[in-house]
Structure 1
Amino acid sequence: MTDHTGILKEIKSFLVISRAKIQLGTPPHPLLGLILGAASITQLFSSITLIYISLYFLLITFACNINCLYDVKIDEKYKEHMSSAVKNLGKEKIKGIIILEAIAIIVLISVLFFRGFVITALLSLSGLGFGFIYSAEPVRVKRRGVLSPFPVLIGLYILPVLGGWFIFRDVLTLYIVVFCVGYALLNEGITLVNTCEDYKEDMEEGITTWAHIFNMKRTMRVAFIFTTLGGLLAVIGVMMKPILTGWTFYNIHSSILFIGMGIVNTIAILKIGGDIYDAGSKDDLQKSCKKAAKNMPQWFISSRYPLLMMAVLLLLAL
């Protein structure tokens, strides 16, 4: 009974250091690239699609595990549930898990490479590198000021989308470029709220972020601009696909739903942008940012999944 309880506790701790709850909002990253790149819905039902999605989740879990391992001292002060999970598993066991994850990632990347998906394999390998250097010493980009957001912006918000795209396509098109730029800005804008939320804690630990360089108010204004402009660009990018490819809408019901979802998504993005702007306008920014950051999971889900639905409806309508 004790062993059974211990195993369950370790599984729970692993889910904590893998940020399982946050990962619930991330499936749109690889799926959007796959769906926007596919010519038909049937193309998505293939072994290579499953391999790529599995690779994505291994990569994000790898990055989360490394982050928790190197942030354990900070988490002891500010995120006790994270540090407790690390202590419960033990640093050596976590290192072993990370090594196994890295091996599995390399194996799947090799499968992609030798099956001819070279660009996707190289993008995934880059994602592995970004996941490592963001948190791990001695590089630890997350504490290096101006550079701090870029591993997440590129490694999490751009590369998974492009990796999925190149499963089905050989070259970039205008609409996927517009979408990727918008999608990255949208997600980074929301992420900057978390950067401002951790202003004091990061400063005490010697971590320099945009909030310290540009101050919290300016960073929250940048967050508002990124979120609003990026979100609108992402919606436009999806809507550009049928226009630029000359496709005809055959399914009228899916077409109406597609346009309706675009309107709903636009309203949601403007609402999120407004909330971020309001949070950045308060006198006590530390307090308002911490309060606003509690909405981040909801913001991510309400902005990403409607975009995913738009992409799915587009495939069904054409």
Structure 2
Amino acid sequence: MSAALDGVVALVAGATRGAGRGIAVELGAAGATVYGTGRSTRQRRSDYDRPETIEETAELVTAAGGTGIAVPVDHTDPEQVRDLVRRIEAEQGRLGVLVNDLGGEHLIEWHTPLLWEHPLDMGIARLRTGIEAHLVTSHFALGLMVREPGALVVELTDGTAEINERWYRGECGTFFDIAKVAAHRMARAQGEELAPRGGTAVSLTPGWLRSEMMLDHFGVTEDTWRDAIPQEPGFGTSETPAYVGRAVVALAADPDVARWNTRSLSTGQLAREYGFTDVDGSRPDSWRYLTEVSWGGGEGDPADYR
């Protein structure tokens, strides 16, 4: 699929690390021009206080075969987002793919699930990043996207609509839950509005993501990630950020992508549908493992879910 998206212009909002970076790079590998935004630059770290930068992401996109363009943007600031979209319009004249991957996983007091115990300022900031910033970005971007048919909006989340309806993950708490569930409704609303104009919107969840932050959490690297399985068996079903990137590429390259409009999707589901794999040639499905084994009480080896 190295030329599948030649001529396509994409905006990955929140491309500094994790899923956003993986999506940006895979879009680039398929030939797209990718505007990657974030607040961590080589000149200044964001409140994540991590080393990854949007400049590095842009360089990886270009090295993969696309054109990577790094733009520092705080997506909770409407003026910055307006300027970003105006820049894309001036430089490209169009925008075909929008990925809203604005999360703020550092804005959660993990294992403090009770609403009255969780730090309120942190929780509200999580909602601003995970909901408000998505809406601000779509507000400005969609007007440019609908000028031509084929627009695709992907709302990144954690868990499918069905999973989030069935299970409440208490270790994450109310603010996390609301932000992740809202992504499904945002995709539904945008899909309804885009459909008459030839566009599509979906929500998409990766499985257990081997992001930079997750690898650091377990004290492993991408080369040694399996060393974390003894302490957390479910990590055996984990996936690289490239996997969700390939899911987005598959959607963007599908001439019949409208069949998915307003749907809630997962990487494992789309891998089966489109036939792509993770970088190691496997097709992990963390959500199937979690619902059937970890939460569902069944028996199964994580290796059987790859």
Bigger radius of gyration, 1 or 2?
A: 1
Q: Is the structural similarity TM-score above 0.5?
A: no
Which of the pair is proportionally richer in strand? 2
With structure 2 as the length reference, what TM-score do the two structures score? Answer: 0.27
Bigger RCO of structures 1 and 2 (CA < 8 A, at least 6 apart): 1
